[in-house]
Structure 1
Amino acid sequence: MSDYPLLAFLHSQQTAQTYLQNSYQKLKIENPELKGFENSNPFMYYLDHGLQFYQIGKETPLLAKPVLLFYGMTHLLKACLLTKRPEYPESTALLSHGVTTRKRKKKNYTFLEDEVKIQKTGLFPYFAEHLYQHQNIPFEKIRMEDLFSLIPEMSSIFSFQRETSLIPVGSLNSNVLTFPNSILDSFHVTEKAFINKIKLYLPEIDDMDIDQHSIQLKLTKSINKTHGLFFIHMENNKIYFPKVRELFSPISEVMVHYLLLYNLSMICRYETEWWGELLATKFDLDYPLIVHFLSITSKKIPLILESELMAIFNEKGQGHD
């Protein structure tokens, strides 16, 4: 837990209660003191169980790793939801995963070509709306390869097989983004249309410089977290953007990881023969991509979710310098 100092700090009833009370006061929720008290224990346990699932998941063999990481993620998400939604879960419908996958895998099945389908109720659409302001998910179903392609740390392994789908356009905590002009051909738009397309997902644009090689945007404030369209590499802190129109999906990277982990957790539980053969024979590209993703997500998701809890903490002036 020492890797996540805020989560360690919140691991007491007193600190959890104060944190929730401050969050509820900011949101102008009625009776913030009472709600903070009522939710402090479940909030603590969600964080504790989530981190324990992650710790065990990192150490366990690949056979069961997706299940442990998926449930670690869902527990941390539920803790985050309690900071915004003191009555969560408001109904039993919210207890489902909010996603479905094919019940029976077709012959010659590959994970990259598999799809997940979004349901109208359940945890996925609920946290997408209340944590990331996505009231309408921009797709009904999506392929695993497309989801992999939206994770910056996956680019290195994809680069051995094909051209990567993300390009660096800036750096964490910088207020300047630079896009190559070639991206206009991929998106089939003019410079003005491209800027109009992405500015909905950015802080206000203060200035811009356009020439034959690039489009440079100066923002009023920096991008400091992963959110729709822009994805941050956890090691080099560069900001990445999809360079192909097909991957222009304004969703949080947390949503991407959830969908991948959901499907992998279902496969390792219910597609025993395929999963067993993959682990035993490592027969196609699915194997290295899945292993690499599981290594990334086990580190990245707790860091992202802790940073989002830290943002709430710092908004009240309680945080670190």
Structure 2
Amino acid sequence: MAKSSTDTVYTYLQSQQTCQDFLYKCYQHLDGVDAATKSYENCNAFMYNMMHGRQFYANGKKLNTLLKPILFFYGMVHLLKANLLTIRPDYPESTTILAHGVSTRKRKKKDYTFMGDEVKVQHNGLFPYFSEHLFKQLRVPFEKIKMDLLFGLIPEMDSLFTMQGERRMVPVGDIGGATLRFPDSLLDHYHLTVNTFIERIRPFLPTIKNIEQTNSAAVIKLDSPLTANSGPFYVHSQDKTLYFPAAREQFIPVSEVMVHYLLLFNLSMLCRYEPEWWGDLLSSKSEADYPFIVHFLEVTAEKIPHLLGEELLNHVNFLH
């Protein structure tokens, strides 16, 4: 099986020499940074965060579902830290950044379901820090958010929602394509006219060249292909189709990496601190939560190392 480009960048950055050279080139583009000194100082931290993160994922895939969320969450944390070191040579600038940056309810209700649970974003910690510096999200557009909404922002989860008679996402184009097609039914769900809808999404698009209205859809022609994998446009990892939230309450323009972080954080907390509920879910499979959680774990195991590898690859391509 051929290696993907993200597998190749991970392989390339497995030695101290290649890591230090990579960081040196990254830091040369930052103002007021001694690239030679900082690349030397950060080389090992960058390399081991990346290596440990990938190993957590590799081991997690082999383990029972019982333990997967913990290994995937901390694997993700390591890969995020490696990415941050490419643009923040002094990371971590303070101990407040080292916290997770998100919290869950301490007590679970008697009729608790994971889909109905929520997480709360903190002002400090890794989540708001990487959201700002990696994905230019200066302000997270929610204080609390339910797991049900987060699942709905992952294209690969849409098939499960469809099976229970819901539609959370709509295919609107292809990654790298310059044409987007928004069906009239989507605009109806947003309760917006075509012009108002386009103004809503314009900040997330390249320059719009042309807008056409057919009998069933609004078709937008772009000046250049849409290549970014970030909300409100999300890419299906298998067919590279661009998906857009089907309803306005799902319009939460954040990076998909942020979505996976929040879901994995909550699942890892359940693993560690709610063994009775977690064990019962996995053994009895009585809740509708079960297939969604299992499918999500299969998706995130492959998708997050790929998405964060793409971030590193973008640096490599930029530097050359």
TM-score in same-fold range (> 0.5): yes
Deviation at 1:26, TM superposition (A): 2.2
Task: Identify the residue that residue 85 of structure 1 maps to in structure 2.
Answer: 88
2:110 is aligned with 1:102:
no
Which of 55, 58, 66 pairs up with 1:55? 58
Which of 174, 179, 182 pairs up with 2:177? 174
Q: Is the 8 A contact 1:225 1:232 kept in 2?
A: no
Task: Identify the residue that residue 158 of structure 2 maps to in structure 1.
Answer: 155
Structure 2: 5+ residue stretches without partners: none
Amino acid at match of 2:39: G
Task: Identify the residue that residue 142 of structure 2 maps to in structure 1.
Answer: 139
Counterpart-to-counterpart distance in 2, 1:190 and 1:155: 26
Misfit runs of 4+, over 4 Å = none
Amino acid at match of 1:40: C
Deviation at 1:236, TM superposition (A): 0.6
Aligned residues: 317
Task: Identify the residue that residue 33 of structure 2 maps to in structure 1.
Answer: 30
Q: Is the 8 A contact 1:153 1:296 kept in 2?
A: yes
Task: Identify the residue that residue 42 of structure 1 maps to in structure 2.
Answer: 45
Task: Identify the residue that residue 111 of structure 1 maps to in structure 2.
Answer: 114
Q: Is the 8 A contact 2:6 2:310 kept in 1?
A: no
Task: Identify the residue that residue 251 of structure 1 maps to in structure 2.
Answer: 254
Q: Say which SS state the counterpart of residue 28 (structure 2) adopts.
A: helix
Q: Is the 8 A contact 1:176 1:217 kept in 2?
A: yes
Deviation at 1:225, TM superposition (A): 3.2
Which of 238, 243, 249 pairs up with 1:240? 243
Q: Is the 8 A contact 1:209 1:216 kept in 2?
A: yes
Q: Is the 8 A contact 1:154 1:292 kept in 2?
A: yes
Q: Is the 8 A contact 2:184 2:218 kept in 1?
A: yes
Counterpart-to-counterpart distance in 2, 1:142 and 1:220: 35
Structure 1: 5+ residue stretches without partners: none
Counterpart-to-counterpart distance in 1, 2:234 and 2:51: 27
Counterpart-to-counterpart distance in 1, 2:175 and 2:19: 29
Task: Identify the residue that residue 311 of structure 1 maps to in structure 2.
Answer: 314
Task: Identify the residue that residue 266 of structure 1 maps to in structure 2.
Answer: 269
Counterpart-to-counterpart distance in 2, 1:242 and 1:255: 16
Q: Is the 8 A contact 2:6 2:309 kept in 1?
A: no
1:33-57, Cα deviation, whole Å (9 max, x unpaired): 2211111110000000000100011
Counterpart-to-counterpart distance in 1, 2:187 and 2:156: 24
Counterpart-to-counterpart distance in 2, 1:26 and 1:210: 44
Deviation at 1:127, TM superposition (A): 0.3
Task: Identify the residue that residue 11 of structure 2 maps to in structure 1.
Answer: 8
Q: Could you tell me the TM-score, scaled by structure 2's length?
A: 0.96
Deviating more after overlay: 268-277 vs 32-41: 32-41
1:194-239, Cα deviation, whole Å (9 max, x unpaired): 1110011111212222233211112222122311200000001000
Which of 67, 72, 81 pairs up with 1:64? 67
Over the aligned positions, Cα root-mean-square deviation in angstroms equals 1.3
1:51-100, Cα deviation, whole Å (9 max, x unpaired): 01000111111111100000000000000000111100000000100000
Amino acid at match of 2:150: L
1:135-187, Cα deviation, whole Å (9 max, x unpaired): 11100000001000110000112211122210000001111111112222211
**Percent identity between the two aligned chains:** 51
Counterpart-to-counterpart distance in 2, 1:208 and 1:81: 38
Counterpart-to-counterpart distance in 2, 1:231 and 1:2: 20
Counterpart-to-counterpart distance in 2, 1:131 and 1:240: 22
Counterpart-to-counterpart distance in 2, 1:298 and 1:65: 9
Task: Identify the residue that residue 283 of structure 2 maps to in structure 1.
Answer: 280
Counterpart-to-counterpart distance in 2, 1:60 and 1:225: 33
Q: Is the 8 A contact 1:172 1:239 kept in 2?
A: yes
Counterpart-to-counterpart distance in 1, 2:60 and 2:250: 30
2:217 is aligned with 1:214:
yes
Deviation at 1:29, TM superposition (A): 4.4
Deviation at 1:284, TM superposition (A): 1.3
